[in-house]
Amino acid sequence: MTAASPTPVPHHPIGVEVYRLILPNTAGAPRLARDFVASLLMVCRHTGLVDDARICVTELVTNAHRHTRTPLIRVEAAVNRGQVTFTVTDEGGPLTGTLTGALGPRRASPEEEHGRGLALVENLALAWGTDGGGPQHPGRTLVWFTLGRPGATP
């Protein structure tokens, strides 16, 4: 099990193809992101990663939709032969508190319907982490995760 690292979103080396989707912050955003990810991975011949990627990106886009006032949610996929790194970015405006500081898996009780999303990401990904927008984009939150074929390293 890997934990969220303070490492910023990985820089994309040469040979990586980058795809982006920009969504309005609506209830349909998670479904659109999930379909984008599935289609992209099928075309890029990463069919073994589709189910895990759909789960993880759905969780992150859902978090951005439910917990921020961001007008847009951005999904980026950096694809190479062995792995894929996804980044979900919101423009900030948390509903309560500071979302970046609160990001991390928590233990949800069996009765709770919510609260397991980041634990799923943590268990499915080779690595994952969070980053802020820095001084140029205060309030912006980036959450990334890397999936890969067996033997791939983040």
152 in Cβ contact with 101 (< 8 Å): no
Side chain identity at residue 45, one-letter code: R
Dihedral angle sign, alpha carbons of residues 147, 20, 131, 69: negative
The CATH number for 27-103+115-148, chosen from 3.30.565.10, 3.40.50.150, 3.40.640.10, 3.30.530.20, is 3.30.565.10
Spell out the domain ranges in the chain.
Answer: 27-103+115-148
Tens digits of pLDDT across the chain (154 residues): 444 444 444 556 667 999 999 999 999 999 999 999 999 999 999 999 999 999 999 999 999 999 898 999 999 999 998 899 999 999 876 554 334 444 555 454 445 444 557 889 999 999 999 988 777 777 788 999 999 976 655 5
E-assigned strand segments in the chain:
17-24, 72-79, 83-90, 127-132, 141-148
- What are the residues facing 30 on neighbouring strands? none
